[in-house]
């Protein structure tokens, strides 16, 4: 980095800048206006706005130049991509920085997972800032790979790229004042402290805010978000793959309160990022829903940079990094070019950055111990049993009660009633824990689907018609060191290896999208009609979310937060 003195001399106009962007229409998120300006850049920074001499000039010919876009809350693991492949997906869409919560990595690998994320997100044309996961494990009712306490967070909070403490999902714990949760909030002092309080309203919401939580991204209804905003929570307007809240929340936002809003994706699939876009999509949606373009772009840039204290990001003015997007029309808002620290890193949808050195993968995480007999459910006579019923496109489930189909003294799947066997095998420390239950909604007529992405503990979860295919799926997942798989007649029909923590692929964006397409096609061929069968599968273990879930510890009555039995008494 060149000395400040050198840059000051450039700013004073005494020596030429490295680069001048001239004839641009500058989206000035600081003065809240769009004005003509030339932007002088040196050594990756903006040094001045004005008529500067430069060694190289880029004529924008009247195009718009705005700060690069920022995602305020994202789980990188949801894309199943490495940071570098994620960059390939989103940099062409104008993303310059992402605030990520490596919640899934932390559940599998603990602090080593966070360290891997810190390391693998370096030296890319995209800045990553990391929130420290605050809820690992999610509950004691599932066996995760790690447990993270406030003391653990305190070890890492001081790092420059740690932006704060991630979503306090145990929101009752917060508003009830549990010491474990208040301690985590205290670790975040002076940095950001993110919230997660779906549907929380009224007095308990007041207590949640009073405890020190400063944001929320879970509002799905206008009045819920309004209440949170009034109580001082920064509102992250979420527009991800499945959770799409912008249409509902847009009427809340105006120029008097936009400063307290950011965009976030939370979870977004690789294919959606590539096809639909990232924060650029949220900007388009916001404008389409009537927000002033300048407000939408402030929300997408400076507001998020300020809330998370991302220094020198989010605006175009002296001292800020030269992170720009170029586009031609405010209404359609198609990002044509992306610059990172003054370097063109994407143009017309093409990613131009050079590949960076690969980060060594973290240790393997597949430690299974099970026997085929563990999958059997003894049942001497047809009994009433509790079955998980899928609610399409939602992470909640319902509990239904129906009579088991019995063969040879065992409860088995019944394709005619769409009752399939669901198995969860602990994979972190070879405890031998195996949970077995039944699920309705997949409509498989044959075979099995398996995954090591299984929120939040990410054990092996398999749904299937027969034990033989379920076991092949488990074996294939072990062979892949984690992944997703579709099996039929003892054969693997499609698969995606996820050797990085059993969550993330080491392959290219294109290969990941292609293999996921194959997996979905294989699931459809087996009879599944769900829009996203593997995502549905991945949420069947999520023990904090009602109503009935299955973890490695068995069936969970998630409404009462306790274990329950398969068979009714």
Would you say 238 and 245 are in contact if contact means Cβ atoms under 8 Å apart?
yes
Q: In terms of CB distance, is 231 or 415 closer to its own copies?
A: 231
Q: In terms of CB distance, is 14 or 61 closer to its own copies?
A: 14
Q: What minimum distance in Å lies between the beta carbon of 207 and its own copies?
A: 4
DSSP state of 113: H
Residue 563: count of CB within 10 angstroms of its CB: 14
Q: In terms of CB distance, is 3 or 562 closer to its own copies?
A: 3
Which residues contribute to the site for its own copies (CB under 8 A)? 4-5, 7-9, 11-13, 28, 30-33, 35, 37, 45, 47-50, 52, 175-177, 182, 202-204, 206-207, 209-212, 226, 229-232, 254-257, 259-260, 292, 294-295, 298, 315, 317-320
Question: What are the distances in angstroms from CA 200 to CA 182, 228, 230, 371, 393?
Answer: 18, 9, 14, 43, 21
Report the C-alpha gap between 395 and 380 in whole angstroms: 33
Q: Which tokens is 158 given? A: 């001081």
Q: What minimum distance in Å lies between the beta carbon of 242 and its own copies?
A: 28
Q: Which tokens is 499 given? A: 């050797």
Would you say 378 and 409 are in contact if contact means Cβ atoms under 8 Å apart?
yes
Which uninterrupted H or E stretch holds 186?
A: helix 179-187
Q: What minimum distance in Å lies between the beta carbon of 252 and its own copies?
A: 8
Q: What minimum distance in Å lies between the beta carbon of 165 and its own copies?
A: 16
Q: Which tokens is 387 given? A: 């079955």
Q: What minimum distance in Å lies between the beta carbon of 365 and its own copies?
A: 38
Q: Is residue 125 classed as helix, strand or coil in its secondary structure?
A: coil
Q: In terms of CB distance, is 158 or 357 closer to its own copies?
A: 158
Q: What minimum distance in Å lies between the beta carbon of 54 and its own copies?
A: 13
Q: What minimum distance in Å lies between the beta carbon of 67 and its own copies?
A: 11
Q: What minimum distance in Å lies between the beta carbon of 260 and its own copies?
A: 6
Q: What minimum distance in Å lies between the beta carbon of 44 and its own copies?
A: 13
Q: Is residue 507 classed as helix, strand or coil in its secondary structure?
A: coil
Q: In terms of CB distance, is 233 or 395 closer to its own copies?
A: 233
Q: In terms of CB distance, is 183 or 506 closer to its own copies?
A: 183
Q: What minimum distance in Å lies between the beta carbon of 231 and its own copies?
A: 5
Strands 397-403 and 448-451: unpaired
Would you say 2 and 22 are in contact if contact means Cβ atoms under 8 Å apart?
no
Q: In terms of CB distance, is 26 or 98 closer to its own copies?
A: 26
Backbone angles phi, psi at 31, to 5 degrees: -90, 0
What is the 3 state secondary structure string of 261-323? EEEECECCCHHHHHHCCCHHHHHHHHHHCCCCHHHHHHHCCHHHHHHCCCCCCCCCCCCCECC
DSSP string, 62-102: T-EEEEPEEEEEE-GGGGT--HHHHHHHHGGGTEEEEEE--
Q: What minimum distance in Å lies between the beta carbon of 216 and its own copies?
A: 13
Q: What minimum distance in Å lies between the beta carbon of 65 and its own copies?
A: 13
Q: In terms of CB distance, is 77 or 224 closer to its own copies?
A: 224
Would you say 375 and 471 are in contact if contact means Cβ atoms under 8 Å apart?
yes
Nearest to 85 by CA among 270, 350, 264: 270
Q: In terms of CB distance, is 8 or 531 closer to its own copies?
A: 8
Would you say 362 and 120 are in contact if contact means Cβ atoms under 8 Å apart?
no
Report the C-alpha gap between 188 and 314 in whole angstroms: 22
Nearest to 321 by CA among 310, 330, 313: 313
Q: In terms of CB distance, is 12 or 350 closer to its own copies?
A: 12
Q: In terms of CB distance, is 312 or 559 closer to its own copies?
A: 312
Report the C-alpha gap between 278 and 280 in whole angstroms: 5
Report the C-alpha gap between 505 and 270 in whole angstroms: 11
Q: In terms of CB distance, is 54 or 144 closer to its own copies?
A: 54
């Amino acid at each position: 980095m060149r000395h400040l003195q050198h840059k000051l001399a450039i700013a004073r106009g005494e020596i030429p800048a490295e680069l001048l962007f001239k004839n641009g229409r500058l989206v000035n998120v600081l003065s809240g206006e769009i004005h003509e300006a030339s932007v002088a850049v040196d050594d990756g920074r903006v040094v001045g706005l004005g008529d500067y001499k430069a060694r190289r000039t880029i004529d924008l010919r009247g195009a718009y130049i705005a700060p690069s876009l920022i995602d305020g809350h994202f789980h990188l693991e949801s894309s199943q991509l490495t940071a570098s492949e994620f960059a390939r997906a989103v940099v062409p869409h104008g993303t310059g920085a992402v605030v990520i919560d490596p919640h899934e990595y932390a559940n599998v690998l603990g602090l080593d997972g966070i360290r891997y994320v810190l390391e693998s997100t370096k030296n890319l044309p995209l800045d990553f800032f990391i929130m420290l996961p605050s809820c690992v494990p999610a509950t004691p009712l599932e066996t995760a790979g790690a447990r993270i306490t406030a003391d653990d967070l305190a070890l890492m909070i001081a790092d420059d790229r740690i932006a704060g403490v991630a979503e306090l999902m145990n929101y009752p714990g917060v508003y009830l004042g549990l010491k474990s949760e208040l301690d985590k909030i205290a670790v975040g002092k002076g940095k950001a402290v993110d919230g997660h309080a779906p549907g929380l309203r009224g007095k308990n919401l007041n207590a949640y805010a009073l405890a020190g939580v400063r944001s929320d991204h879970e509002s799905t209804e206008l009045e819920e978000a309004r209440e949170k905003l009034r109580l001082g929570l920064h509102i992250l307007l979420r527009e991800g793959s499945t959770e799409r809240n912008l249409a509902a929340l847009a009427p809340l936002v105006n120029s008097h309160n936009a400063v307290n809003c950011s965009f976030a994706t939370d979870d977004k699939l690789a294919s959606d990022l590539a096809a639909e876009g990232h924060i650029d999509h949220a900007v388009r949606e916001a404008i389409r829903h009537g927000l002033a373009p300048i407000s939408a772009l402030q929300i997408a840039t400076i507001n998020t940079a300020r809330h998370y204290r991302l220094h020198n990001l989010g605006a175009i003015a002296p001292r800020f990094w030269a992170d720009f997007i170029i586009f031609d029309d405010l209404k359609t808002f198609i990002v044509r070019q992306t610059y990172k620290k003054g370097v063109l890193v994407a143009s017309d949808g093409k990613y131009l950055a050079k590949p960076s050195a690969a980060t060594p993968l973290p240790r393997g995480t597949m430690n299974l111990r099970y026997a085929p007999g563990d999958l059997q459910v003894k049942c001497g006579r047809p009994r009433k049993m509790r079955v998980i019923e899928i609610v399409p496109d939602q992470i909640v489930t319902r509990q239904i009660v129906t009579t088991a189909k019995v063969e040879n003294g065992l409860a088995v799947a019944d394709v005619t009633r769409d009752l399939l066997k669901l198995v969860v095998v602990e994979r972190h420390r070879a405890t031998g824990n195996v949970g077995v239950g039944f699920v309705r909604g997949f409509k498989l007529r044959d075979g099995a689907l398996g995954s090591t992405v299984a929120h939040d503990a990410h054990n092996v979860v398999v749904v299937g018609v027969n034990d033989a295919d379920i076991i092949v799926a488990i074996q294939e997942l072990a062979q892949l060191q984690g992944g997703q798989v579709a099996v039929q007649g003892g054969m693997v029909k499609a698969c995606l290896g996820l050797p990085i923590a059993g969550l993330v692929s080491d392959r290219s964006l294109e290969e990941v999208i292609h293999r996921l397409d194959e997996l979905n096609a294989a699931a459809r061929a087996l009879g599944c009609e769900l829009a996203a069968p593997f995502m549905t599968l991945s949420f069947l273990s999520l023990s904090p979310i009602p109503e009935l879930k299955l973890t490695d510890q068995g069936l969970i009555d998630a409404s009462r937060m306790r274990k329950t039995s398969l068979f009714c008494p």
